Each structure stands twice: as structure tokens, then as C-alpha cells.
A and B are shown apart, each in its own frame.
Chain A
């Protein structure tokens, strides 16, 4: 695991700082307020004039002291602050997207498996496959087009086209958790909460449309496998209603692999859905990372990549552990 973190950081470091076309790493520290000698001092302190591997060492030391550097383009704020202030928004989006994915994907997969090879199955599979064939940026715009623009022109209540909260309501609620919906609930401000909810629906659905395709496929495959097992025949031979056979006997077995997949999705989503956040102007971590890439902010990129790598690795571990609890056959 540690190796992965080092590997990720090394690759990004090498790419971000190592190439001639790369942006000057000290550009993040430059502002008009700098006096002449200070720039050299900064360069010396962070080792920007040294060969790459020494720079890496300097950077590691900085990081151990909690200094992730500055992101000049974001008003000169420290990098970690830029990250941390945006992260809760990504978390909100992730939670909403996961709820959609699970609530829509699992029933779709079950339907497909139970009605295998019928017309319903084919329709369900096409829906699932469309999910992961659709370009997410395109789908995002389509959603905006239909639910924001056309609904508006047709006189229907429309969903907002972007942002986390309407202009007028921003800041009317104290920031406790950083997630707008939760903050609204905690403050008891219903208008705020509803507004925040309205804002999260489209981006969350956009994200989930893709993952629910995968989830439905996996659920379908494992349900088909389970439904062929002997213990299902046994359950049926007991005269149990088909409903119970499917939900109590089959599903519990079939959901075990689906769980792993959901864990991986959540990890990926927490890494910031760059495209969705950009299109919907969602001020999350992914959105910011895109700007960081264009502006050459290696500090931010390093922080971002490391955090997401950590999330992915930790999620995999958590899923492995969960397996132990869910599947009674596994003993450690």
C-alpha cells in the first residue's frame, strides 16, 4: 500500500515538475508582493534548483511537516486548504450519486435476471448498457438541456443548471459539515435544504447513470448464477413463494460481488467526477483539479492524486474486510 502511494506521488511529481514544458514550480509562490531576494530564498528552501530526485526529497519533507505548498491561482491560499474546502461538496455529490446508483441499478439487475431472456430482460439490458456507453459530458448537457432549458421554456418547474445552491441563498446557513443538504437540515432551514437538493439531483443522476449500468450488469450476472444453484431448487421445493425465494435466498448470495463493485465506485467518485463537476459548475475537488492541470499547479495535483489514491486503497481494504462479515463461509 505504501508503495502505491509512493509510486503515485513519484509519477505525478516526475511528470509535473520534470519536463521542459512543465510549469515552473515556484510560479505558485510568486506574487507582486515578493521582494527581490525572497524568490531566491523560496527556490532554495524548496530545492527548485536541484535535480528532480532531490526536489522529491524536499517535497517529502515538506509534506511531513504538513506543508503542501500554495496554489497561487486560488488567491494564494495554501494548497491543502483549497482541497479541504472543496472536498465536502464532492462528498455530497458522491453520496447522492451512490444512492441513485444503488436504488436504480440493483432492481434493474434483479429484473433482468429474474425475467431472463424475455423482452423485459432485453430492455433492461439495453438501459444498463446505454448507461455505460453514454459520454458523461454529453449526457450532462442533455440533462441540462431538458430539465433546465426545455422545462423552463415549456413552463414546467425546472431544475437548476449548476452550482450547489442558488445565488440568493448562498451563505444563509452556517457551515457545519460543509455539505449543503446536511447543513440546511441541521439549521432547520427548509428552503435551503430543498434548494440544495434540487441542485444535486442532476449532477448526481449524471454520475450514477454510468455506474448503474455496471452495477446492473454485475447484479444480473451473479443473480443468474445464483438462481441456477441447487439451494434455490430446494427453496422452491419447500413451497416458498417465489418472492421469498428471490429476495431472501437468492439476493443475499448475489449481492456479495455487487458490494465490491459499489465500494470501488464510491472510491472512484470520491476522487472527483471531473467531467460532471465541470459541466455543472459544481465546486468540488474534481472541478478544481482540472483547473490545476491547466495552470500547472503541481502542488495541488500531488495532493489530489495522493488523497484519491489513498481513498481507493483504503476502500479496497474496507471492502475486503466487509466480505468477512457478509459471507459466513469466509473465516480469517
Chain B
């Protein structure tokens, strides 16, 4: 469909065609309840992340509060021992941990960190991966081969191993963990973009532009990539969920930078020792991760259906 637009004169009809396509996409989106649900959740979480620091102050959430808090308002039933947790449904909506810290507040505070890191990683991986993939596909030849082999090597590492080794070696700061996850994620975009660009490169409009004398950079940047962008966008949406899962998994497995780090995986890790006695400590942080990932996956999956050229008329 975009080919027709490209053959037309000038970019005006091209943008018109794109707008028409966009309108059709929005129409499909409205019809798809799953995408809408995902969208609402995403907006919800982003909003929470944006105002988190307004809702909860860091001190409030993370300061150890020995014996200062009462689980229930009735002093008779409360206790002030150390290491005693409050279950949910008491003064604290989601309960507290052994140090009296309110779980709900800790979760709210963790959301912005997780989302920020996830967005950062996905943005970086996609920017780098798309650029590399597009260049490799356009230039072709030995360079392309080399890039392909390198991505092969990265794909041969199962799941977390690479990130684990990296994290183990370079220390446990948020930055190194971010880099570790980034290492695992960038090759996907290279492969994806490369595949797309290779297909677009052969299409007639690319040839036409080349023959007019438009510079390769312009062709790739302004024509090919916009046409090939849809699967990449889908992948990015889905990856945000995946990155949060991986990142929190790394922290959970023991690479936590510090016990006071407001991060959902960290919170869950704290709950391991109390799985059976105070299950809410691990249930709720994990549930939050699940919901965030689900939100982005709902959107991404729905988008994939909407943007699939074969399902559109």
C-alpha cells in the first residue's frame, strides 16, 4: 500500500496516504478490547510513575521504623516487636515487611525506577540495533556478514547467562545491571531491522529513489525506515515488559545493589525468607511486575495484530 503512495509525485500524497493508514489503525484499535485494556493499564502505570514522588516520600517508605507503627489502630492488638510483619488489610493496605515499612508505598516508589530503566534500555537497544541493522542491510557484503555472525554469537547465549556473567564481573550498580540487560537485548533489533530493510531495499520505490540520485542516507532514513518501522514498534512495546522482567530477575537472583533500592525485584527478593509466613511480601511486588509487563504485552500483541499487513484490507 505504501508503494503506491511512493510512486506518486511529491511527499504530500505520501503523507496523506500515511494519515489514512493511521486513521484505519486507530479504528481497528478501538475495536480491539485487549489493546484498549493494555493502553489503559500503560497509561495508569506511567501516570503513577510520574507522580510517585509526590505521593510518597522516600523517607516515609524506606526508613526503618522500629516499633513505631501499629498494624491495627487498636493498641491492644498491635505489637511493637522487631521483625514482625503486618498482613494486608490492616492499617497498611498491602501489609508491611519485618521493618514496618509499608509495602504499598514501597511499590509505588519502585514503579518509576523500573519504568525508567526499561524505557532507557529499550530506547538504547532499539536505536543502536536499528541503526546497525539498517546500515548492515544497506551496505551488504562482508560487513553484513560480519554483523550477522556477531549477532549469532549473542543469540547463542541462553537467556540470562550473558547478563549474569557481566553483572557478576562488573559489580552491582544500577548502571552495570542496565548495561548487562542491554547486552542481551540489542541483537534482536539488528536482526529485525536488517530483515525489514533487506525486503524494502528490493522494492521498486527504493530503486526509483536511487536512480534519481537521492543519497542512501536519505533513502534509508526517510523512506525505508518509516515503511519498515511497524514490526520494530511492536517489538519495542513487547520488549519493555521483557526488560522489566529480566532486570528484576537479575536483581532477584542476588545482584541487588543495595537493600534499600526501590525496585520491584528487590522487594520480591526481600520476601523470599517469608514466603510462607508473610506471602504478601513477594506476592504484591511480583503482581505489580506482572501487571506492568501484561500492560505492555497486551498493547504490543494487539498492535502486532493491527499492523499485520495481511490482516488489513
Interface flags, A207-241, vs B, CB<8A=1, else 0 = 00000000001000100110010000000000000
Q: Is A304 an interface residue (CB 8 A)?
A: yes
Q: Is B39 an interface residue (CB 8 A)?
A: no
A318 to B278, CA, bound (A): 47
Known: A7-B149, A145-B276, A294-B168. A268 touches B158 (CB 8 A): yes
Please give me the residue from chain A that is nearest to B244 by CB atom. A135
- B142-187 contacts to A, CB under 8 A, are 149-150, 152-153, 155-162, 164-166, 168-171
Contact B168 A309 (CB under 8 A): no
Known: A217-B301, A290-B253, A308-B157. A133 touches B290 (CB 8 A): yes
Q: Count CB-based A-B contacts (< 8 Å).
A: 138
Contact A129 B301 (CB under 8 A): yes
Per a CB cutoff under 8 Å, which of A129, A137, A142 touches B283?
Answer: A142
Chain B interface residue count, CB cutoff 8 Å, equals 50
Known: A15-B165, A133-B290. A224 touches B311 (CB 8 A): yes
Known: A15-B169, A122-B33, A296-B168. A308 touches B161 (CB 8 A): yes
**Residues of B close to A86: CB separation below 8 A:** none
Q: Is A43 an interface residue (CB 8 A)?
A: no
**Residues of B close to A8: CB separation below 8 A:** 153, 156-157
- A131-176 contacts to B, CB under 8 A, are 132-139, 141-142, 144-145, 149
**Residues of B close to A7: CB separation below 8 A:** 149-150, 152-153, 156
A239 to B276, CA, bound (A): 58
Q: Contacting chain A: which of B15-23, B78-86, B291-299?
A: B291-299
Interface centre among B33, B149, B276, B308 (most CB of A within 10 A): B276
A296 to B164, CA, bound (A): 11
Known: A16-B165, A293-B168. A312 touches B156 (CB 8 A): yes
Contact A16 B283 (CB under 8 A): no
Contact B166 A15 (CB under 8 A): yes
Question: 11 A-B Cβ contacts within 8 A?
Answer: A3-B149, A4-B156, A8-B153, A21-B170, A129-B301, A130-B290, A135-B245, A135-B265, A289-B161, A293-B168, A296-B168
Shortest Cβ-Cβ A-B pairs, 7 listed: A138-B286, A271-B158, A7-B153, A133-B293, A309-B156, A133-B294, A293-B168
